[in-house]
Structure 1
Amino acid sequence: MKIKSTLDRIPGGMMVVPLLLAAIINTVAPDLLRIGNFTQALFVDGAGTLIALFLVCAGAQINLRNVGVSLGKGATLLGVKWAVGAAVGLLAYMFAGDNGLFLGLAPIAIIAAMTNSNGGLYMALVGQYGKEDDKAAYSILALNDGPFLTMVALSIFGAMGFVDGLFSLTSFISVLLPIVIGMVLGNLDLDMRDFLAKGSDMLIPFFAFALGMGINFNAIIEGGLGGVALGIMTVFFTGTAAYLVFKALKWNPIVGVAEGSTAGNAVATPAAIAAANASFAGVAGLATVQVAASVVTTAILLPIYVAFLVKRLEKKGKMTKEGEYVG
């Protein structure tokens, strides 16, 4: 049975197929793999550990002389993602109805979903189509985890002030440290760099499956069409914007579009903001389910969109069949 060759024929197959398979299992039989010990540790609870190991392997491939490129790419992705999400959120606030909603969407849900990205999904896509400095850019992208950047947008709009405790330096360092450890090992010893290089590709289907075990398709039903629309907007607005910016900068545009998702932790953002400012309490519940629907929608739609763009680049001769950008 040619499992690997079959997955290789599917754009992003090493990530997409395990993720969707796990999401189906988690929706239909959520307790099937939650049986404790090694099975649950690997297939359900292992995403964080596996991604951390992936970051060590990726960090080892970074030459210290090129570290500025990683920082530049990360800052660009972070800036584009936030700017697009904040701009769409501002328009939603300006044209919201008397009920505080814009076309059925809570503006706070728009900002929360569109400014916060799924780091695991980014790493899986970039692991297949990007280079080591693209993976290392994730160290900067960790800044959009949680409600901090949503707060920044709302503060700029004059809706509320900054609130202490919504950005954790410790959390940021905890994301950065595995990359730094790998980078130190790889630059001190080239044999370690070669040894760790073998780990990156192998880890992708495993942490993709674990990520899928955190997805429940019922969230799409609960969030309604508004939540699905929010997910579609997140993919096409933030992902396409980053794609075009990266293309203009002569970087791999697939890395840009890989940021067009909503992270699972964004689901908690509306409640966190409502706790800081009671004026948002009335829409916090609706915003929460809409963001949850966006999480699931982007996890499904983004890999498909990436596959479409990869095929376009291949036809134009700007990407090889092996996924290397030559534009």
Structure 2
Amino acid sequence: MKIKATLERIPGGMMVVPLLLAATINSLAPDLLRIGNFTQALFVDGASTLIALFLLCTGAQINFRNVGVSLGKGATLLATKWLVGAIVGLLAFMLMDENGLWMGLAPIAIIAAMTNSNGGLYVALVGQYGDKTDRAAYSLLALNDGPFFTMVALAIFGAMGFVDGMFSFVSFVSVLLPIIVGMILGNLDEEMRKFLDKGSSMLIPFFAFALGMGIDFGSIIEGGLAGIVLGLLTVFVTGTAGYFVFKAFKWNPIAGAAEGSTAGNAVATPAAIAAASTAFAANVELATIQVAASVVTTAILLPFYIGFLVKRLEKKGVKIPDDYIIEES
């Protein structure tokens, strides 16, 4: 049985198939794998650990002479994601009705969903379609986890004052450290770099499955059509913006599009903002449901959108990621 070959024929198959399989299990029988010990540790709770190990293996493939490229890509993605999400959110604030909604969407949900991204999904996608500099860019992308950049957008809009304490330098370092450890090991020992290179691809289906165990298809139904629309906006607006920005810089545009998702932790953002300002309390429950629907929608849709973009480039004679791999000097 050629499982690997079959998965590779599916766009993003190494990531999307395990993720959807796990999401199906979690939606229909959520307690099936939550039985404790090694089973739950690997298949349910292991996403963070497996992603951390993936980042360490990826870090080992980075030559110190090219680290600036990774930081540049990370900063560009971070800025693009935030700017596009903030602009759409501002438009929603300007056009919202008397109920504080725009097209049925809470503006705070738009900003929370579109300025935040699923780092695990990004890592999985660039693990298949990107190079080592694309993967290492994740160290900066972790900054958009949580409500910090949503708060910044709201402060700029004048909707609320700037809220302190939403950004933790320690949290940023904790994401960056596995990559740094990998970089040190890989640059000190070429054999260690080759040894750790195997983990860069082998770990993808395993942490994708663990990510899927955090997805419940019921969130789409509960969030309704508006939540699905929010997911579509996130994928096609922020993802497409990242695609063209990276293409303009002559970087792999697929890595730019891989940011078009909403992270699970964005679900908590509306409540965090409502706690900081009662002005947003009225729609906090609706916003939370809509963000949750966006999380599920983007997790399912983005890999297929990426697969479409890859096929589109290949028809033009562009090989992904070969034509965009940055050679070490």
TM-score (norm 2): 0.98
2:158 is aligned with what amino acid? G
Supply the distance in 2 between the matched residues of 1:37 and 1:324 (Cα, whole angstroms): 41
CA distance in 1, matches of 2:109, 2:234: 11
Q: Deviations over 1:279-298 (max 9, x none)?
A: 10001110000000000000
| CA–CA separation in structure 2 for the residues paired with 1:193 and 1:162 | 44
Contact map agreement 1:60 1:183 (CA 8 A) in 2: yes
- Asked if the contact 2:251/2:324 (under 8 Å) is kept, the reply is no
2:322 is matched with: 324
Query: Counterpart of 1:289?
Result: 289
Show the counterpart of 1:161. Answer: 161
Residues in 1 aligned to 2:11 and 2:223: alpha-carbon distance in whole angstroms: 28
Partner of 2:231: 231
Letter in structure 2 aligned against 1:297: T
Q: Displacement of 1:324 after TM fit?
A: 2.9
Q: Which residue of 2 aligns with 1:50?
A: 50
Structure 2: where are the runs of 5+ without partners?
A: none
Contact 2:88 2:111 (C-alpha < 8 Å) held by counterparts: yes
**Residues 34 and 40 of structure 1 are in contact (CA less than 8 Å); yes or no, is this contact kept in structure 2?**
yes
Structure 1 counterpart of 2:28: 28
- The 3 A distance-change label for structure 1 pair 326 and 76 is closer
How many residue pairs get aligned? The number is 325
In the alignment, what sits opposite 1:315? 315
The code of the aligned residue for 2:24 comes to: I
Contact 2:223 2:289 in 1 (8 A): yes
Contact 1:117/1:144 (8 A) holds in 2? yes
Deviation at 1:165, TM superposition (A): 1.4
Give distance in 1, aligned partners of 2:277 and 2:199.
Answer: 45
The AA in structure 2 aligned to 1:258 is A
1:325 to partner: Cα distance? 3.5
**Percent identical across equivalent pairs?**
78
Structure 1: gaps (5+ residues): none
Report how far residue 326 of structure 1 moved: 5.0
Q: Which residue of 2 aligns with 1:150?
A: 150
Alignment of 1:1-327 (within 5 A): 1-319=1-319, 323-326=321-324
Does the CA-based 8 Å contact 2:85-2:111 persist in structure 1?
yes
- How far apart are 1:240 and its partner, in Å? 0.0
Please report how far the alpha carbon of residue 164 of structure 1 lies from its aligned counterpart in structure 2 after TM superposition: 1.7
Q: Does the residue aligned with 2:227 lie in a helix, a strand or coil?
A: helix
Q: What amino acid is the match of 1:261?
A: S
Q: Secondary structure at the match of 1:292?
A: helix
Match of 1:169, as an amino acid?
F
The answer to whether the 8 Å contact 1:318/1:326 transfers is no
Tell me which stretches of 4 or more aligned residues in structure 1 moved more than 4 Å. none
- Amino acid in structure 2 at the alignment position of 1:211: L
Amino acid at match of 1:31: D
On the 8 A contact 1:243/1:255 being kept in 2, the answer is: yes
1:101 CA drift (Å): 0.2
CA distance in 2, matches of 1:62, 1:143: 21
RMSD of the TM alignment (CA)? 0.9
For the residue of structure 2 that corresponds to 1:187, the secondary structure is helix
How far does the alpha carbon of each residue in 1:203-228 deviate from its partner, in whole angstroms, 9 at most, with x for none? 00000000000000000011100000
Q: Does the aligned pair in 2 maintain the 1:21–1:209 contact within 8 Å?
A: yes
**Amino acid paired to 1:324:** D
